[in-house]
Amino acid sequence: MEEKIKHRPADDFTGVDFGDKRLNERSRKAVEDCTRNTGKSILGSGGGRGEAKAFYRLLGNEKLEMAQLQGISSGATMARMKGTVLLIQDTSSLTKAEKSARTIEEKESFRWIDMLREATAIVPDDVHFVTICDREGDFYELYAEATEIGEDFIIRVTHDRRCETNEKAATKLRRTPAASRVTVNIPRDSRKGVPARVAEMEVAYCRVNIIKPVNVREPEIAPQLAMNLVRISEINPPNGHEPIEWILATSLPIHNATDALRIVEYYIQRWKIERFHFVLKSGCNAEKIQQRTYERIKPVLLIYSVIAMFIMTVTYMGRVLPDVPCDLFFDDNEWKILYRVIHKTKLAPDKPYSMADAVNYLGRLGGYKRAPSDGPPGLQSIWKGLFALYFAVELLVGQG
């Protein structure tokens, strides 16, 4: 039988070796403490002032190398990758920064290219990754970079660029007859206060060669680039709603309507990066990190990022793979105590229950009301449920 791969946030840092056994143990314990006390300060997560001081000493230890922490964590992520992986890019900030621009290397937009290059360098050769960006990524230099290094992309278009035929690319696409109609589940837009809905959409696609803009002066950048465009537009939107229209530029091949719909399905996953930032900031309280220097903030932020991904993985695993056993993410004490708390019993099942049940129980523990219109438990109820579960485990372990 194939060995089951279990996953906990601290596992992402297995293999860290700072040449000091105590420092290695301290770094792992720091991750475990932060996981059990999601959203608390370092003082609150460590179990007292002594533990907090040890955490602060860890952050100030010259042997604590951020490059090694990040490398080990990235390696653990790469090991879990299989097949096609969506590399979703987005930006978020904990503090406001000044912006300046001249050459592409000095532009704020260069971060998109830098991320693409970093991913190309570390993603395993047998993994096909597709970079996905919103409209901030719609600039010619990024298309050129991805094309040159042979990496695929899906980017939402905001500029109506000129084609080699001297017509505008988006204008050409809007004149192209629809290839298909489809219903799409549109996620809730929390920023605009727009609820989730099912929309009927038309899908069209075409091939274009876009011309290098005059403001892109680097001579080494290709004078024109070939790519596919996909347009998905809403038919008969609800009263008071602007019709949805997405125009997506992609390097992926499109031979038929099914291929075009696959591009749309990939792009729809982009919203998860926004949910990641939500968990990182609101669930892990990353904006309340009290370290005074960027060098001391980075390792804490890395730990919180791994924890945020754990929270998201638990939440969505209950939806995508509901039948897998819950001991993939929870040890025996945790899943048994979770069951006992929810069912108000001293008895627990002999075998782990499903992830769907585990997520339902965590949601209830975190305030999920189970109303018919609520849908499955959301991220906020899950992180609150995890915190309550870990607290219950500390209280009940040893009581039988």
Lowest mean pLDDT among 57-71, 290-304, 356-370: 57-71
- Provide the token pair at 250: 């992609």
Q: Where are the alpha helices (DSSP H) in the chain?
A: 21-36, 42-45, 49-60, 66-79, 110-122, 140-149, 169-174, 257-268, 271-278, 294-320, 332-343, 355-365, 379-396
DSSP string, 356-386: HHHHHHHHHHTT----TTS-S--HHHHHHHH
d(CA 6, CA 329): 6
Cβ contacts of residue 366 below 8 Å, gap of 6+?
377, 380, 381, 382, 383, 384, 385, 386, 387, 388
Gap between the terminal Cα atoms of the chain: 31
> How much of the chain exceeds pLDDT 90, in percent?
50
Q: What is the distance between the alpha carbons of residues 292 and 300, in angstroms, rounded to a whole number?
A: 12
The Cα–Cα gap between 334 and 271 comes to: 30
Is residue 311 in a domain?
Answer: yes
Asked if residue 328 is part of any domain, the answer here is: yes
What share of the chain has pLDDT > 70, as a percent?
A: 84
Report the domain count for the chain. Answer: 3
pLDDT tens digits for range 196-220:
788 899 999 999 999 999 999 899 9
Q: Does residue 83 lie in a domain region?
A: no
Residue 84 lies in a domain: no
Q: How confident is the model at residue 102 (pLDDT cuts 50, 70, 90)?
A: very low
- Whether residues 38 and 133 fall in one domain: no
Query: Is pLDDT of 148 > 90?
Result: yes
Q: Answer yes or no: do 224 and 114 share one domain.
A: yes
Whether 210 and 338 share a structural domain:
no
Residue 331 domain-assigned (yes or no): yes
Q: Is residue 169 predicted with pLDDT exceeding 90? A: yes
Go through the chain and tell me how many residues it has.
400
8 Å CB contact between 138 and 95: no
**Rounded CA gap, 382 and 275, in Å?**
13
Residue 1 lies in a domain: no
pLDDT of residue 107: 57
Averaged over 16-36, what is the pLDDT? 76
Residues 125 and 244 in one domain: yes
Domain that holds residue 370: 321-396
**Together in a domain, 67 and 199:** no
Q: Has residue 157 been placed in a domain?
A: yes
Give the DSSP letter of residue 78: H
Order of strands across the sheet with 84-88?
A: 84-88, 128-133, 152-156, 245-250, 224-234, 197-211, 180-186
Asked if residue 212 and residue 128 are part of one domain, the reply reads: yes
Whether pLDDT at 128 is above 90 = yes
Q: Tell me, yes or no, whether 66 and 176 share the same domain.
A: no
Same domain flag for 172 and 249:
yes
Please tell me whether residues 260 and 337 are part of one structural domain: no
For residue 137, give the CATH number of its domain: 3.90.350.10
Average pLDDT rounded to a whole number, residues 160-183: 92
pLDDT at 95: 52
CATH code, domain with 348: 1.10.740.10
Q: At residue 123, what are phi and psi to the nearest 5 degrees? A: -70, 135
pLDDT of residue 337: 95
With a cut of 80, say whether residue 66 has pLDDT above it.
Answer: no
Is the model's pLDDT at 316 over the cut of 80?
yes
When the pLDDT of each residue in the chain is averaged and rounded to a whole number, the result is 84
Q: What is the pLDDT of residues 284-314, one digit of tens each?
A: 888 877 766 777 788 888 888 989 999 999 9
Q: What is the pLDDT of residue 42?
A: 46
Domain co-membership, 26 together with 145: no
The pLDDT of residue 40 is 60
Calpha distance 210→208 (Å, rounded) = 6
Instruction: Output the six-digit token pair for 185.
Output: 């589940």
pLDDT of residue 109: 66
Q: Is residue 34 part of a domain?
A: yes
